[in-house]
Structure 1
Amino acid sequence: MAATLRKTFRYPDDDQPHGLDNRQELDEEEQDKLIQELSTKNDAQNAFYNLVFTIVPLVATIAYIPAIFSSSVTAGTRFIYIICILSLSTTAYVMKFGPFDSEVYRLGEPGVLAVQEGKSDPRSYLFYANTAVCALLSLQSWYMSSSQGHDDHQGLILGILPGVVLGVVVVASRSLIEVDIGELEKLKYEYKGA
């Protein structure tokens, strides 16, 4: 028979002598300062990511420049690529100037699609129109690449690129969740120090 040695379970505070506490209490001023620091850091991060995801659609427009000036591209295809560029520009505009409001975040609907209750924002209609254009461009490029005898991967990719970028921007905008200062204020506690 083999004997098994087991260690006795100890709580993390069991290592400290009784009466000593590892957690340091924060007074009200320190709590306010911490809340303000978290809010400032969150605002800076949101501004950075908002800028990055505004630039992404504009960078994606570079893919269309060689195709537009190519001599092998028809006038109809050039027109479709110009619509793709306009769609990407609209995506950048909606990301930059979208209805991001802390009230909307508290309603649980963050991001581009969010609008305040009872108020309509023209940018939301622009977003829906851009979504419809992206869907039509994707369907058109898929139809054109499947109906042609050869595989036109470049045309397919350039046709669905605005929809893919719009999807990435929507996911990114929904991820930009603001710190709710009101909730942090509720978590404050009374300092019971000396």
Structure 2
Amino acid sequence: MAAVRLRKAFRYPEDSDEGREELDEEEQEQLIEQLQRQNDARNAQYHIIFTSIPLLSTIAFLPSVFAASSLTEWLLSILGVLSLLGTAYTMRLSPLHPDRKGKKPVTAENERITRLHSALLPVNGAVCLLLTAAYFFAGTGPSSIRPVLYLIPGAMLAAILLARDMMLSVDLSALKNLQYEHKGA
């Protein structure tokens, strides 16, 4: 009698559960903690890099601050320096995540700092718009500053806001919530 040959249904390798290991609760917690440490280290690097860039950009305005040919040029240069310093402050010291849990006690000083953080961005944006308008209306007279430098604060603010948005896009709380959905599995 001829041997009976049974056919097996074709399966893709990723369809099989044989090679897949489930993580237990402790391994899930360790993995989430490792990812959190990596994210915190990367955020610290971004904070340093994106804080130093606007600070270094202030060098472009220093010659016109100390040797401006007109009061308008001096004022616009001071605004450029202040805008870049505000941008660096926004990146370095402004909190990435608002305190949602209420762990910090509400004091008058904390309230003032919170108001400063919330007002700094719109004021800095207005200064950047003013400097951009100055770029478009700047004359070609004798000047110690090139009008294109007035665009630097706006470009730095946009880069910082983009970097902060990218840093905020990594949220491990959703991963932590998934961890406990499969508890006991």
Q: Normalised by the shorter chain, which TM-score bucket?
A: 0.7 to 0.9
Contact 2:80 2:131 in 1 (8 A): yes
* Deviation of 1:155 (Å): 2.5
Equivalent of 1:125, from 119, 128, 131?
Answer: 119
Q: Secondary structure at the match of 1:25?
A: coil
* Deviation of 1:134 (Å): 0.9
Contact 2:131 2:151 in 1 (8 A): yes
Contact 1:26 1:191 in 2 (8 A): no
* Deviation of 1:96 (Å): 1.3
Say whether residues 1:52 and 2:52 are aligned partners: no
Say whether residues 1:81 and 2:77 are aligned partners: yes
User: What corresponds to 2:62 in structure 1?
Assistant: 65
Cα RMSD (Å): 2.9
Contact 1:43 1:178 in 2 (8 A): no
User: What corresponds to 1:175 in structure 2?
Assistant: 166
TM-score by length of 1: 0.70
Q: What is the number of residues matched between the two proteins?
A: 161
Query: Does the C-alpha gap of structure 1 residues 47 and 74 become closer, same or farther in structure 2, counting only changes over 3 Å?
Result: same
* Deviation of 1:174 (Å): 0.8
Structure 2: stretches of 5+ with no match in the other structure: 1-9, 101-113
Contact 1:58 1:88 in 2 (8 A): yes
Q: Secondary structure at the match of 2:156?
A: helix
Say whether residues 1:99 and 2:95 are aligned partners: yes
Contact 1:39 1:181 in 2 (8 A): yes
Q: Which shows bigger deviation, 34-43 or 59-68?
A: 59-68
1:126-151 residue CA offsets vs partner (Å, 9 max, x unmatched): 21111101101110121114xx489x
User: What corresponds to 1:141 in structure 2?
Assistant: 135
Q: Which shows bigger deviation, 84-93 or 20-29?
A: 20-29
Letter in 2 for 1:94: T
Q: Secondary structure at the match of 2:28?
A: helix
Contact 2:96 2:168 in 1 (8 A): no
User: What corresponds to 1:114 in structure 2?
Assistant: none
Equivalent of 1:24, from 21, 25, 40?
Answer: 21
Q: Secondary structure at the match of 2:51?
A: helix
Say whether residues 1:157 and 2:148 are aligned partners: yes
